[in-house]
Structure 1
Amino acid sequence: MHKELSQLFINTNPLDLSQSLKNYACVSLILRGSPDDLQIGYIQRAIHPLDRWSGQIAFPGGKREEWDTSALATALRETQEEVGIILTPEEMIGRLDDIQARKAGALLEFFIRPFVFYTERDFEVRLDHNEVADFFWVPLKDLVNPERSISYELMREQLRMELPAISLNREIPLWGLSYMITQDLLNRLKARISF
């Protein structure tokens, strides 16, 4: 399965925003399972009153630190720190397009670099409860189920927004950058895998 998924990323040139933006974070999209039951791991961010993304659905990851030797090293370190999952470079199957961060619809001088991993290992999840409230798996079948597609309404800085989202049977749905990154992954996978 690892080899089959890796083929999806051969000869692709993901969008690279590092030439125009200096600051970035890296996230890990972790896949597991068989072709007919592929799953992806998400986190629910910890609840903090001062965190604008408090309680939201995301991927494990975080900002690059100056001691990180590469963007991949950032993704691996942050994943281990947040959820205790020790991924290996050999489990990486590819990278998605960089995506510029946004605040109330305005682009920020910051981008997210998503790495995709596939693992056949079982591992113990150990959450850093200061950052993460939960780690959970979602079947890709659920993500493409049209009955789960919803509109998510929110207010940001006196601006009412209605955004596409996916219901994961949690208080806050999958929306925003995590939704956009998920759609990028699903579009690539649909070319080779039926789910």
Structure 2
Amino acid sequence: MTSNTGTEDLISHLKSVLLELNAHPYPEVANPPETPKRASVALILRIQPHYSHWPATDDKPFPLHHPYPPSPTQQRRRSSAASSKSRDLSFKDVIETFFAQDWVKHGDPELLFIKRATRVGDKWNGHVALPGGKRDPEDDDDQVTAVREALEEVGIDLHYNNAITIGNLPQRVVTSSWGKVPLMVLCPYIYLLTSPTYPAQRLQPTEVASTHWVSLRALQSPSLRTYEYADVSARLAKSELGIKRWFLQSMLSKMMFAAIHLVPSNSTYCATIPAFIPEGGPPDAGTLGK
């Protein structure tokens, strides 16, 4: 008899959402005048197998695509849409086949977050984010940027031999100065890894301090809802002058934001970043400690 793991309904709902997202893609957002920058992020999903439904070691690779995929150099800047033309199955067939596997039906869906490295002058210092970055002129489209950045920052290959390209989430214009100054257009794309196991991640020391797989159940849990205070006065006051700048610094200080306490199932840390192991001797324990 097959035992349930309590995640079957979540898995079924996830499949429906992915099918819906692929069938109804969000429109592309054009760049505002004099704002040519675009950036992409990759929302990477995986299904973590449950202990009681672990995949057999002799399971064959998930059958998806043409037996002759392009070389890595071709893949780097090639449009993901062009890559998908070599698939043997329709998107619905691929999703149905993937979710029909026993280890998937009873698994735990997870999402990959990164913690950004600490860098002088980086306004997103140490933030939790998704893998991604700015679009290069050589990139065919915004989706290629997401794939390239994921490979460069965390070492995960999102091409069709390792992942299913689901679609996109709403693009948005990132602004500063109370929404008055557009900085770039941010383009999020969704990918689903097809293997129950994946090679060790390769974290880019200048960009990523650590990565964390977080269960979708944790993101949905009311008990993990919390709030966080962040000092926003310095960032907002930089663009102002005189009394307005003083007012922002004195009145804003820290603001409260809704937050979620992330509970990772698996974390990988970049041991080659500066100050991963603090330099110097032990902290001063004081007179009593001595």
TMscore range, shorter length? 0.7 to 0.9
Structure in which a larger fraction of residues adopt helix = 2
Counterparts in 2 of 1:128 and 1:138: CA distance versus 1, 3 Å: same
The one of 167, 170, 187 aligned to 2:261? 167
- Could you state the TM-score of these two structures normalised by the residue count of structure 1? 0.77
The one of 73, 77, 94 aligned to 2:148? 77
Structure in which a larger fraction of residues adopt strand = 1
Higher RCO (CA < 8 A, seq sep 6+): 1
Q: Which amino acid aligns with 1:14?
A: Y
Aligned counterparts of 1:17 and 1:11: Cα–Cα separation in 2: 18
Counterparts in 2 of 1:105 and 1:139: CA distance versus 1, 3 Å: farther
Q: Which amino acid aligns with 1:10?
A: N
The one of 205, 212, 215 aligned to 1:129? 205
Q: Which amino acid aligns with 1:40?
A: L
Query: Residue 112 of structure 1 corresponds to which residue in structure 2?
Result: 186
Query: Residue 167 of structure 2 corresponds to which residue in structure 1?
Result: 94
Counterparts in 2 of 1:162 and 1:96: CA distance versus 1, 3 Å: same
Aligned counterparts of 1:166 and 1:4: Cα–Cα separation in 2: 24
CA RMSD of superposed structures (Å): 2.4
Counterparts in 2 of 1:93 and 1:74: CA distance versus 1, 3 Å: same
Q: Which amino acid aligns with 2:167?
A: G
- Could you state the TM-score of these two structures normalised by the residue count of structure 2? 0.53
Counterparts in 2 of 1:83 and 1:102: CA distance versus 1, 3 Å: same
Aligned counterparts of 2:23 and 2:194: Cα–Cα separation in 1: 25
1:30 aligns with 2:44: yes
The one of 203, 214, 221 aligned to 1:138? 214
Counterparts in 2 of 1:102 and 1:166: CA distance versus 1, 3 Å: farther
The one of 24, 27, 33 aligned to 1:12? 24
**Percent identity between the two aligned chains:** 30
Return 110-119 or 82-91, whichever deviates more: 82-91
Question: 1:109 deviation in Å?
Answer: 3.2
Query: Residue 223 of structure 2 corresponds to which residue in structure 1?
Result: 147
Counterparts in 2 of 1:127 and 1:10: CA distance versus 1, 3 Å: closer
Q: Which has the larger radius of gyration?
A: 2
Gaps of 5+ in 2: 1-10, 48-103, 235-248, 265-290
